[in-house]
Structure 1
Amino acid sequence: MAIRLKLLSLLFISLLCSAAHAADCLKYEPDTVALSGTLHRATFPGRPNFESIADGDEAETGFYLTLAQAICTRDDGRSEHEAHKDVREIQLVLTPEQYAALRPQLGQQVQLRGQMFSNFTGHHHADVLLRVAP
């Protein structure tokens, strides 16, 4: 009986910790979030096959944020916004003016604000993207 009570107690504590952790996860758009990390540029294969630049796929170069601390995101019940755990890399969605403004900060620590969304096309090379606020 004492073992059963201990097991039930451990299960209850585990469930509470999971619920608390989920509450700490960031929400997708329309909420605005602030994220900190190292700004860098990365290139991935694009059209037509999204597999290999060497084999003829277009190069897709963009700016990314490697987070100082991993985050998690909440599933908001909409199919296009999945929950993700241990997110460390964010693809940035920027205007041409934002690219120009951020280019001098490549390789540096930055804090950016914006709205997050979950990847949904082959052009999205990270699980989570941030539409950076102007």
Structure 2
Amino acid sequence: MKTTSIRSFALPGLICLLTWHSPASASDLVGSWVKAGTACTRDTTINDSLLFINKDQIVGYEFQCDIVRQSTTKNRTTIRTVCAGEGETYRKTFNIDRLASSQIRVDSGPALIKCSTSGNPSAPGTSSDTSLTRGCLKSDTKMSLSGRLSLEVFPGPPNFESIKDGDREDPTYILTLRLPVCLDDGGEFADPKKLFDQVHVSAIDPTMFPRLKQAIGKEVAITGEAFAAHTAHHHAPLVMFASDLMLK
């Protein structure tokens, strides 16, 4: 049994793009799926029923789910996930039934048909069209992000350039995301056309630090207020003050 990541959400007229690390028995699910009569567009932010799933995640309108475990029996694949969306982290199980060679049903939703290769939407972080900013994370909001947590040491005061040359060590928690993202803060500090995959994680509540320390090297979902980096103390484009943490 193989574990990996997924993102999902309850959406009207569900549209799915499935692409994850999966056993051979589930490889036929890889692709782009859409409710009959709905176009396979490129942008989830324009069509809130569109769902992307790359090799690590399913990403849709204001949500993401990471696969914890999956199994396949006959024509059904069951996928257990940890999801983050609208500032909350929660668990969800998806049951995907194969109705035909290019038709599936997710849970009790409508039948979905597979898009042609040419009609596949581009997953967030891979699209060449970066002019659309509606799909970017919004600065100064509460959000949930998933990835691997690490503790890295950066050059700190006074010059933030070189520990060897006398700058103090500045240990920092870094969350490395599974997919690159963009950030929109209205043009104050962030460039929404630039993608990044690391988040500087800190906390205001002192009880969060032991939890962060215990999660080093592990896959986690972290929830908190986040904003665009704007000082030398910030060691990633996005800074998050963690208020909750869930181990995968």
Same fold (TM over 0.5): yes
* CA pair 55-18 structure 1, distance change in 2 beyond 3 A: closer
In structure 1, the residue corresponding to 2:174 is in which secondary structure?
strand
Matches within 5 A, 1:43-62: 43-62=153-172
1:92 aligned onto 2:201: yes
- Structure 2 contact 208–243 (Cα < 8 Å) conserved: no
In structure 2, the residue corresponding to 1:123 is in which secondary structure?
coil
Q: 1:129 maps to which residue?
A: 239
In structure 2, the residue corresponding to 1:44 is in which secondary structure?
strand
**Cα drift, residue 102 of structure 1:** 1.8
1:83 aligned onto 2:83: no
Q: Which amino acid aligns with 1:51?
A: E
Cα displacement string for residues 83-115 of structure 1 (whole angstroms, at most 9, x for unaligned residues): 342110100122432111121111010001112
Aligned length: 114
TM-score (normalised: structure 1): 0.77
Structure with greater strand percent: 2
Matches within 5 A, 1:1-134: 18=130, 21-29=132-140, 31-77=141-187, 79=188, 81-84=189-192, 85-95=194-204, 96-134=206-244
- In structure 1, distance between residues paired with 2:145 and 2:162: 30
* CA pair 18-122 structure 1, distance change in 2 beyond 3 A: closer
- In structure 1, distance between residues paired with 2:172 and 2:149: 11
Identical aligned residues as a percent:
32
- Structure 2 contact 174–198 (Cα < 8 Å) conserved: yes
- Structure 2 contact 185–228 (Cα < 8 Å) conserved: no
- Structure 2 contact 229–237 (Cα < 8 Å) conserved: yes
Q: Which amino acid aligns with 2:152?
A: A
* Runs of at least 5 residues in structure 2 that lack an aligned partner in the other structure: 1-128
Structure with greater helix percent: 1
Higher relative contact order (CA 8 A, sep 6+): 1
- Structure 2 contact 183–228 (Cα < 8 Å) conserved: no
Superposition RMSD on alpha carbons, in Å? 1.7
* CA pair 43-109 structure 1, distance change in 2 beyond 3 A: same
- 4+ long deviations beyond 2 Å: none
In structure 2, the residue corresponding to 1:89 is in which secondary structure?
strand
- In structure 1, distance between residues paired with 2:238 and 2:202: 11
- In structure 1, distance between residues paired with 2:214 and 2:226: 23
- In structure 1, distance between residues paired with 2:222 and 2:216: 13
* Runs of at least 5 residues in structure 1 that lack an aligned partner in the other structure: 1-16
